[in-house]
Amino acid sequence: MTLPADPQPDLPRVQRLTERAFAALERFLHIEAVSGVVLLVAAAAALIWANSPLAHRYHALWHTPLSIGLGSFVFSQSLHFWINDALMTVFFLVIGMEIRREIHEGALNNLRQASLPIAAAVGGVMVPAMLYLGLNGDPVRQHGWAVPTATDIAFAVGILALLGRSIPGNVRIFLLALAIIDDVIAVLIIALFYSGGLDYSGFATAGIGILMVLALQHMGIGLAYAYVVPGAILWIGMLMTGAHPALAGVVLGMMTPVVPMRMRERPLDVLARAADELAAREKLEPLGLAQPLRRLRVAQRELLPPVVRVQSALHPWVAYGVMPLFALANAGISLGGIDLSAGGAQWVMAGVVVALAVGKPLGIVSVSWLMVRLGWCRLPPNVSWGGIWLIGLLGGIGFTMSIFIALLAFADENLLGAAKLGVLLGSLIAATSGMVWGMGYVRRHVKQSQVTTASRTAAVP
C-alpha cells in the first residue's frame, strides 16, 4: 500500500511573487529583440554622453587605469583595454561556440545546405570591400576596407524578431547562418590583416594553454571553471604574439565539446538512482548525502553537451553585459571633434555608409541569385527572393564587429571617429530599410499564405 505524500505547505505570498518575477525576467532576457534594443540604448547613451557637457568625464572614464598584480608583478591597462581586449574574449567565445554548433548539427553541417549562405556571405564581404576601396584610394584610408564587411547578429536577428512570427523559419535560419559565416570571415580577416607583425614566441605560451584544455578534456573534466586558467594562458599567449587576444575566445569556443562527457551510466539513470538514494537517506543518514548529491550535480550537468550548456549560461552576460558595455565604451563619438574635411575623413565615413547600406544587400542578393541561376544552389523552402532581400538589408547592420575592426584599422583618431560615425549611420540606414522592407514582406507573405490556404480548402470536395 502506498502512503499519500505529505501535503506541502503553501509558499508565502512574497516568495510566490518573487518566483514569478524571476521566471518572467528569465523569459524576457531570452527574447532576441530585447538584446538588440539594449545594445541600441547603450550606443545612444554613449553618443549623447560624448557630446554633452560631461564629455570629459566620458573619455576620462575609459582611460582609468585598472591593474592586477601578484607580488612584484603588476599588469596595468586602461578600462578601455579590459573591455575591448579582455571582456570581448567572452563575446568571441560565444561566437566560436555558435560556429562549432552550426558545423556539428546546424546549417553548416551539410555542405549542400550551407553552400548558399556561404556564397551569400562571401558576396556580402567582397562587394562592400570593393565599394569602400573604390571611394578610398589613399593607402592609410584603404586600411579600413574590412570595417563594413561584418554583420551584427544581435541587431539583425533582433529586428527580424520585431517583425513577428509571420517570418518563415528558414529566413531566420538563413540569416543566422549568413551572420555566423560572416563572423568566421571577420575573425580570419582580423587574424590575417590586423594582427601586425607576429611574435612567434607567444605561440608557445598559447600552445601550452591549448594543450592544457585538451588534457582536461581527455581527463573527463566537465566543470567549466576548470578551463579558466588554461583559457587565461591562451589569452596571454595571443597577446604576446601581437594578434588580438580576444581571438583566444574563438579558439576556445571551437574546442568546446559538442557531446556530453562519457559516463559509466546514462545521466538520466544516474539522476534517478541518486534521487532514490537521497529519498532513502533524508531521514536516516543526513551526513551521508554528499556523495549522491555530487553524482546528482554531475549527471544534471552532463545532460547537455558542454557547447550548449556554456553558451546558454554565457548568453545573458554577453547580450546584456559585454556587448552593451562595449557599445558604451566605443560608440561615444564626439561629433564636434571629427573634422570630415581633414585627411579624407569624409570618404572614410561615406565609404563605410555606402558599403553597409548598399554594398551588403547587393553582394548578398547578387551572389545568391548567381548561384541559383547557375544551378549550383537552390533557395531553401519557403524562402522567396523577397526574403533574400530582407536578409541582405539586415546584413548591412554591422555595429559591434564593424566598430571592433575600425579600432584595429585606424590609429588616427579623426579617421577612427569618421569610421565609427559611418558604422552608426550605415547600420541605422540598413536597420530602417530592413524594417520597412520586412513589414511589406510580412504583409505579402501573410496574403499569399491566406490565398494558398483558401485554394486548398476550395479544392477539398
Residue 144 pLDDT: 92
Residue 457 pLDDT: 61
Residue scoring higher pLDDT (196 or 60): 60
| Residue listed under C-alpha cell 583559457 | 231
Instruction: Estimate the crossing angle of helix 413-459 against helix 360-373, to 10 degrees.
Output: 40
Residue scoring higher pLDDT (9 or 84): 84
Residue 127 has pLDDT above 90, yes or no: yes
Confidence band for 160, pLDDT divided at 50, 70 and 90: confident
- Picking from 372, 408, 366, the residue whose alpha carbon sits closest to that of residue 124 is 366
Taking only the tens place, the pLDDT of each residue in 260-286 is 766 566 666 666 666 666 666 655 555
Residue 158 pLDDT: 75
What is the spatial distance between Cα 175 and Cα 189, in angstroms, rounded to a whole number?
21
Close Cβ partners of 252 (under 8 Å, ≥ 6 residues apart): 93, 96, 213, 227, 231, 234
Confidence band for 430, pLDDT divided at 50, 70 and 90: very high
Q: For the chain, what percent of residues have pLDDT higher than 70?
A: 80
Residue 112 has pLDDT above 70, yes or no: yes
Residue 367 pLDDT: 95
Query: What average pLDDT score do residues 206-219 get?
Result: 91
What is the spatial distance between Cα 410 and Cα 403, in angstroms, rounded to a whole number?
11
Angstrom CA distances, 213 to 137, 143, 232, 309, stand at 45, 35, 11, 17
Enumerate domains of the chain plus CATH numbers: 31-194+244-260+304-453 (1.20.1530.10)
Residue 147 pLDDT: 92
Q: Cell numbers for 316, please give them.
A: 545573458
Residue 3 pLDDT: 47
Residue 302 has pLDDT above 80, yes or no: no
Taking only the tens place, the pLDDT of each residue in 437-460 is 999 988 887 777 666 555 556 555
Residue 389 pLDDT: 94
Residue 321 has pLDDT above 60, yes or no: yes
- Picking from 297, 164, 330, the residue whose alpha carbon sits closest to that of residue 222 is 297
The SS3 call for residue 57 is helix
Residue 360 has pLDDT above 50, yes or no: yes
Residue 2 pLDDT: 47
Q: Kindly state the DSSP code that residue 342 receives in the 8-state scheme.
A: S
Taking only the tens place, the pLDDT of each residue in 384-398 is 899 999 999 999 988
Query: What average pLDDT score do residues 298-324 get?
Result: 79
Query: What average pLDDT score do residues 159-188 get?
Result: 81
| Residue 67, strand partner residues | 76
| The model's pTM | 0.73
Query: What average pLDDT score do residues 79-105 get?
Result: 85
Residue 269 pLDDT: 60
Mean of per-residue pLDDT scores for the chain: 81
- Pick from 62-66, 131-135, 241-245: least confident: 241-245
Burial 156-185 (b: 16+ CB within 10 A, else e): bbbbbbbbeeebbeebbbbbbbbbbbbbbb
Residue 363 pLDDT: 96
Close Cβ partners of 268 (under 8 Å, ≥ 6 residues apart): 299, 303
Taking only the tens place, the pLDDT of each residue in 399-408 is 888 888 998 8
Residue 247 has pLDDT above 70, yes or no: yes
Contact predicate 371/110, CB 8 Å: no
What is the spatial distance between Cα 447 and Cα 454, in angstroms, rounded to a whole number?
11
Query: What average pLDDT score do residues 304-323 get?
Result: 84
Residue 1 pLDDT: 43
Residue 240 has pLDDT above 80, yes or no: yes
Confidence band for 132, pLDDT divided at 50, 70 and 90: very high
